[in-house]
């Protein structure tokens, strides 16, 4: 892409932008839709809108609802922008501060683009935001503490970027947050104690960062949590006993950290747990049939990873007649023909992936 060759076109867009700005500013108490149009025009110019994959009707005089990716609704007697949806659309460049002028915005879908630079703190002015998807971009610097102003936020996706620095204390004050996905960044430091305030959290992925320190006991009050991934960080110390209080957890990934102690006695209450990955001998120790029977009781689908052949055959002391699917292909052994025959005879109604 040759951005330099279109400098006159870029200046033409900016000239139109400034002319419209002067026109609107001369109006006493301009309508929200007029201010939002200015904000969207600045957004277009900042992210090289002329090169977007789709930019139908942008910068035109048509209603904003006819601009590609813009959705509006009526609030009172006024039309306002409530959704900006431009994923995988070749957006390049930084988010402008004018994004904060879209005060009625509820959903921001800008994932899978080439957005760079910092997240503008003005995003905190969008107090109605419920979903933010900025994952799979090139966003850098720290997560702004101004997210605390987005008290309606339910889902925050910032994975696969270049974010750095600590997890902001203010993130833990978003009491309605259900999804927090920050994997594959450069975040560092401990999990703030304020995270105990995320009482509605269902999905937490902090994997592939440089986070460290002990896990705070109070974060295991996430009674709605079904997905918990802190793998590939630098966490250390013992796993808190409070892990036993996560009744809805289905996926647990803690591998590639520096934890010590045994985990089996701590996860025997994870009633919904369906995937056992024995990735750390220091944490797991010996697998017993009693443990597996308790852990997998009433499960219809089970996956096991990194287990030895002897540990797999320990399972046959149990009574898992309800099993419908058992994924065995990610383990530390090769089964002989007689082994496979034995398994298939023992579980004739179960689909087994070897």
Question: Is the domain of 284 the same as that of 207?
Answer: yes
Question: Is the domain of 302 the same as that of 262?
Answer: no
User: Which phi and psi (to 5°) does residue 45 adopt?
Assistant: -70, -35
Q: 10 Å Cβ neighbour count for 66?
A: 12
Per-residue pLDDT band for 62 (boundaries 50, 70, 90) equals very high
Question: Is the domain of 159 the same as that of 197?
Answer: yes
- pLDDT score of 264: 46
Domain containing 118: what range?
A: 31-290
- pLDDT score of 237: 86
State pTM to two decimals: 0.76
| pLDDT at 328 exceeding the cut of 80 | no
User: Which tokens sit at 11?
Assistant: 């200046």
Give pLDDT tens digits for 132-162: 999 999 999 999 999 988 999 999 999 999 9
Q: DSSP assignment of 6-65, as one string? A: GHHHHHHHHHHHHHHHHHHHTSSS--HHHHHHHHHHHHHHHTTGGGSS--TTTTSSS-GG
Question: Is the domain of 212 the same as that of 348?
Answer: no
| pLDDT at 11 exceeding the cut of 50 | no
Give pLDDT tens digits for 243-286: 766 788 888 888 888 887 655 444 444 434 444 554 444 455 55
Asked if 69 and 44 touch (Cβ cutoff 8 Å), the reply is: no
User: Which phi and psi (to 5°) does residue 245 adopt?
Assistant: -100, 30
| pLDDT at 204 exceeding the cut of 70 | yes
- pLDDT score of 290: 58
Per-residue pLDDT band for 91 (boundaries 50, 70, 90) equals very high
Give pLDDT tens digits for 288-311: 555 555 555 555 566 666 667 666
Please indicate whether residue 93 or residue 6 has the higher confidence score (pLDDT): 93
| pLDDT at 209 exceeding the cut of 70 | yes
Determine the distance from the C-alpha atom of residue 332 to the mean position of all C-alpha atoms in its chain, rounded to a whole number: 31
Asked if 181 and 156 touch (Cβ cutoff 8 Å), the reply is: yes
Question: Is the domain of 269 the same as that of 343?
Answer: no
Question: What is the C-alpha separation between 120 and 132, in angstroms, rounded?
Answer: 13
- pLDDT score of 296: 58
Per-residue pLDDT band for 23 (boundaries 50, 70, 90) equals very low
Question: Is the domain of 171 the same as that of 300?
Answer: no
Question: Is the domain of 152 the same as that of 165?
Answer: yes
> What percentage of the chain has pLDDT greater than the value 70?
68
Question: Is the domain of 134 the same as that of 212?
Answer: yes
Structurally, the chain folds into a number of domains equal to 2
- Whether 317 is covered by a domain: the verdict is yes
- Whether 23 is covered by a domain: the verdict is no
Asked if 141 and 120 touch (Cβ cutoff 8 Å), the reply is: no
Residue 264: closest CA among 248, 251, 276, 246:
276
Question: What is the C-alpha separation between 75 and 82, in angstroms, rounded?
Answer: 10
- Whether 349 is covered by a domain: the verdict is yes
User: Which tokens sit at 122?
Assistant: 């003005």
């Amino acid at each position: 892409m040759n951005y330099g060759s279109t400098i006159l076109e870029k200046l033409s867009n900016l000239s139109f932008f400034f002319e419209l700005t002067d026109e609107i500013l001369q109006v006493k108490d301009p309508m929200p839709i007029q201010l939002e149009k200015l904000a969207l025009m600045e957004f277009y110019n900042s992210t090289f809108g002329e090169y977007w994959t789709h930019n139908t009707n942008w910068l035109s005089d048509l209603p904003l609802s006819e601009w590609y990716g813009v959705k509006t609704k009526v609030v009172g007697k006024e039309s306002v922008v409530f959704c900006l949806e431009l994923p995988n659309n070749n957006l390049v460049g930084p988010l402008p501060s004018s994004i904060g002028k879209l005060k009625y915005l509820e959903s921001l879908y800008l994932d899978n683009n080439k957005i760079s630079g910092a997240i503008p703190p003005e995003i905190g002015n969008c107090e109605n935001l419920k979903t933010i998807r900025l994952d799979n971009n090139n966003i850098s610097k720290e997560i702004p503490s101004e997210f605390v102003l987005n008290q309606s936020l339910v889902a925050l996706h910032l994975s696969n970027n270049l974010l750095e620095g600590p997890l902001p204390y203010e993130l833990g004050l978003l009491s309605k947050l259900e999804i927090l996905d920050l994997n594959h960044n450069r975040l560092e430091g401990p999990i703030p104690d304020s995270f105990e305030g995320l009482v509605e959290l269902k999905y937490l992925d902090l994997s592939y960062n440089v986070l460290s320190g002990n896990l705070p006991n109070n974060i295991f009050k996430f009674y709605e949590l079904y997905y918990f991934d802190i793998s590939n960080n630098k966490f250390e110390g013992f796993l808190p006993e409070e892990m036993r209080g996560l009744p809805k957890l289905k996926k647990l990934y803690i591998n590639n950290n520096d934890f010590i102690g045994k985990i089996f006695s701590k996860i025997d209450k994870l009633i919904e747990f369906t995937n056992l990955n024995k990735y750390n001998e220091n944490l797991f120790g010996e697998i017993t049939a009693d443990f597996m029977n308790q852990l997998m009781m009433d499960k219809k689908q089970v996956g096991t990873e990194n287990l030895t052949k002897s540990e797999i055959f320990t399972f046959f002391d149990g009574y898992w007649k309800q099993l419908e699917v058992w994924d065995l292909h990610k383990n530390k052994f090769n089964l002989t023909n007689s082994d496979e025959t034995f398994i298939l005879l023992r579980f004739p109604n179960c689909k087994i992936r070897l």
